[in-house]
Amino acid sequence: MDCNLRPYQEEVVQAALRGENSIIWLPTGGGKTRAAVYVTKKHLETTANAKVAVLVNKVHLVDQHFAKEFKPYLGNTYKITAISGDSNEKDLFGCLVKASDLVICTAQILENALINMEEEKHVELTDFTLLVIDECHHTQKESVYNKIMGRYVEKKVRKQGNLPQILGLTASPGTGGNRQLDKAVEHVLQICANLDSVIVSTKNFTLVLQKVVPRPKKQYDIVEKRALDPFGDHLKAMMLMIHEFMPSTVSRSLREMGTQEYEADVVELEKAENRLIAQCALHLRQYNDALLINDTVRMVDAFWGLDEFYNSRKTKLLDGTDLFLQGLFDENRVELKQLASNARYENPKLARLQCTLQEEFNDENSRAILFSKTRRGTHCLFDWVNSNPELQRVNVKAGILTGAGTGANHMTQNEQKETIKHFRKGILNLLISTSVAEEGLDIPECNLVVRYGLLTNEIAQQQASGRARAMNSVYSVVAEEGGREIRRELTNEYLESLTAKAIDQVQQMSPREFSRKISELQQNAVMIRIQAERKKDEREQRYSPGQVQFQCRGCFLPVCSGEDLRKIENTHHVNINLEFERHYTAGVQVVLEKSFEDWEPGRVISCRNCGKEWGMEIKFRRVVIVPCLKIKSFSLKTPGGKSTPKQWKDVEFQVKEFDFLKDMNAFILSDLQMRRNMNTLHNL
């Protein structure tokens, strides 16, 4: 099949066709991936021993790029392999790269292969002649893309090896949150430095591009502020009672209730060493979530969320703090339920949203995406749509699209694919989605995109807007008059234009000046990377494993030592001490869509004392079942005090690698000793 390009696509691929590293900047729907297919085809045709890797940042994009773009145009001539975290073949990545002309994979798969030294799994950057990086604006800070490109830049600075050509694709590099042109220019230059690339866009065919990707008509669907909110007021009064129960110095530091800032404050307090403060913070977070839901969807949604939380805790009340918090909700439950059921005080945003949807769905061919902030929010909106007689009358058929995962409200990869397939076929005509639909997904043209109660950056706004690609489409912002959403949306409009100005300024630089700036930024990045590695090594050596005590974050009970832990494949952190078993209970079986070479999931594990979830069992090499721990479920007591790391890479001791023979022998001997002890006790 011929891979024909539009004039503006031909313009933006010229640098890449000359073998130069470049970032293609085109709007959502402008055909960036098709341009990448064309460059890849020409590269494979003209480069000796060519080997191409297409990197994506989400698993579902692997199959999408393979089936929709690369296979139709290149599949008859070249060996193409698609590999993601869902693929069993990922464990033979090194072998597959050798056997393929083109691999399409998640960036994490390549990162794992770069650090894994087993021959069948390992690859080097120099094994490739071209790297295509999708959604390349993510190549910054601690992202996987930037880890890969950090190695690339370091090799370049050190003048090591034949490095592959780079082709980045983005709908917007953004401004990095900067509001001044000079700072926005610095941000764009940093992205260029991280990707060792120039940034290219169409200059001669902007009118053609505008016809292909028409901008939607933007409308602000404004609602007046709620006149009365007795349900929300009652929640705030209960929160104040919890504030009074806490030390006054702590509660005084909290910001405005019902905001993201307040949530950030209580999340920090959950890490407190004092159980009273930590538990109060956990409950305040639930109340704040209820306020945010009350502000976005229905009062009953907020109420049932709280009710579910307190029902789950009734059997695990450990002390006076738990009794006070549970009692406070139980005493107010009936009144909260009555207030939540009073239609007079319902959220006015929903009435406005109903009008917006009704207006569009009077046309039976309409397709729309409704963006909401959280997974829970999408489920609440789904229930509201399905129980709304006016929306059912205009035949709204809604489906939910959220990120993949294993937790509550997550979707499996197959469920995502099915939902998008049904949307494409018209079985569904409204997608209620989190940000997962903003970026990359192959979703049909929509004539309505609604942003509902969202505070995001200019990149997310542009990508969401780009989903409204049908002629005469509408991009609607449903928000409260004078609210934060409106202010953020207007700020994002300004930042979008600032991004364009910053890119233009970078493109206007002389090649010499651009090269000098990029070189400075890259040398600086290499120095920072070396220092970060040194600090990481120092942090890991700060304490010996035996000096670190793990305590449950729910009840502060000591449960194990750092000496009991082992690391499997640099990913799973397991406890190999059989004594640990007495501290937890095992619950429901974890079910994952994907399968793995060396392990399979077992049951969820939770603290026997307070019920806090700790992780899950894993069956390793079909031989041994070991508990695999989530670091966020524990606080760590060290000679220097307590800490609450968010990730395993933040712990201040070195977790030993799992040595299968040595640790299995110790495991078996420990098991035999425990059985002997049990028999001795039984005989006594």
| Mean pLDDT comparison of 278-287, 586-595, 616-625, highest-scoring range | 278-287
Q: What is the CATH number of the domain that holds 630?
A: 2.170.150.30
Residue 5 in this model has a pLDDT that exceeds 90: yes
* Confidence band, pLDDT 50/70/90 cuts, at residue 116: confident
What would the mean pLDDT of 106-120 be, rounded to a whole number?
90
Per-residue pLDDT, 640: 92
Tens of pLDDT along 338-377?
999 999 999 999 999 999 999 999 988 899 999 988 889 9
What would the mean pLDDT of 100-107 be, rounded to a whole number?
97
| Domain co-membership, 380 together with 313 | no
| Domain co-membership, 219 together with 247 | no
| Domain co-membership, 446 together with 305 | no
Minimum mean pLDDT range among 181-185, 435-439, 619-623:
435-439
DSSP states along 388-422: -HHHHHTT--EEEE--B-SSTT-B-HHHHHHHHHH
DSSP states along 540-599: HTSB-GGG-EEEETTT--EEEEGGGEEEETTTEEEE--GGGGGGEEEEEEP--SS--SSE
Structure tokens at 320: 């006076």
Closest CA to 134 of 463, 552, 493: 463
CB 188 within 8 A of CB 506: yes
Per-residue pLDDT, 364: 87
What would the mean pLDDT of 656-668 be, rounded to a whole number?
78
Residue 406 in this model has a pLDDT that exceeds 90: no
Q: What is the CATH number of the domain that holds 308?
A: 1.20.1320.30
- Report how many domains make up the chain: 4
Tens of pLDDT along 466-495?
666 667 888 898 988 888 888 888 898 899
| Domain co-membership, 277 together with 336 | yes
| Domain co-membership, 447 together with 381 | yes
Per-residue pLDDT, 462: 75
Q: Which residues contact 659 (CB under 8 A, 6 or more apart)?
A: 566
Tens of pLDDT along 592-615?
877 777 889 999 999 999 999 999
| Domain co-membership, 332 together with 373 | no
Q: Which domain holds residue 300?
A: 230-345
Q: Is there a domain that residue 480 lies in?
A: yes
Residue 332 in this model has a pLDDT that exceeds 70: yes
Residue 664 in this model has a pLDDT that exceeds 90: no
Q: Is there a domain that residue 527 lies in?
A: no
| Domain final residue, candidates 314, 345, 376 | 345
Per-residue pLDDT, 421: 87
Mean pLDDT computed over every residue of the chain: 91
| Domain co-membership, 167 together with 309 | no
| Domain co-membership, 85 together with 204 | yes
| Domain co-membership, 290 together with 437 | no
Q: What is the CATH number of the domain that holds 182?
A: 3.40.50.300
| Domain final residue, candidates 322, 345, 368 | 345
pTM of the shown model: 0.87
DSSP states along 277-306: HHHHHHHHHHHHHHHHHHHHS-HHHHHHHH
Q: Is there a domain that residue 65 lies in?
A: yes
| Domain co-membership, 220 together with 246 | no
| Domain co-membership, 334 together with 416 | no
Structure tokens at 680: 């001795």
Per-residue pLDDT, 670: 59
Question: Using CA atoms, how far apart are residues 548 and 559, in angstroms rounded to an integer?
Answer: 11
| Domain co-membership, 333 together with 365 | no
Q: Is there a domain that residue 535 lies in?
A: no
Q: Is there a domain that residue 512 lies in?
A: no
Residue 681 in this model has a pLDDT that exceeds 50: no
Per-residue pLDDT, 407: 61
Host H or E run for residue 331: helix 320-340
Residue 209 in this model has a pLDDT that exceeds 80: yes
Q: Is there a domain that residue 526 lies in?
A: no
% pLDDT > 70, the chain = 93
Q: Is there a domain that residue 666 lies in?
A: no
Residue 415 in this model has a pLDDT that exceeds 90: no
Q: Is there a domain that residue 665 lies in?
A: no
Length of the chain: 684
What would the mean pLDDT of 118-132 be, rounded to a whole number?
93
* Single-letter amino acid, residue 552: C
Per-residue pLDDT, 88: 60
Structure tokens at 427: 């079985």
| Domain final residue, candidates 345, 379, 397 | 345
Per-residue pLDDT, 15: 98
DSSP 3-state assignment of 368? Answer: strand
Per-residue pLDDT, 466: 67
What would the mean pLDDT of 569-593 be, rounded to a whole number?
91
Per-residue pLDDT, 373: 86
Per-residue pLDDT, 316: 87
Minimum mean pLDDT range among 417-421, 476-480, 630-634, 665-669:
665-669
Tens of pLDDT along 293-314?
999 999 999 999 999 999 999 9
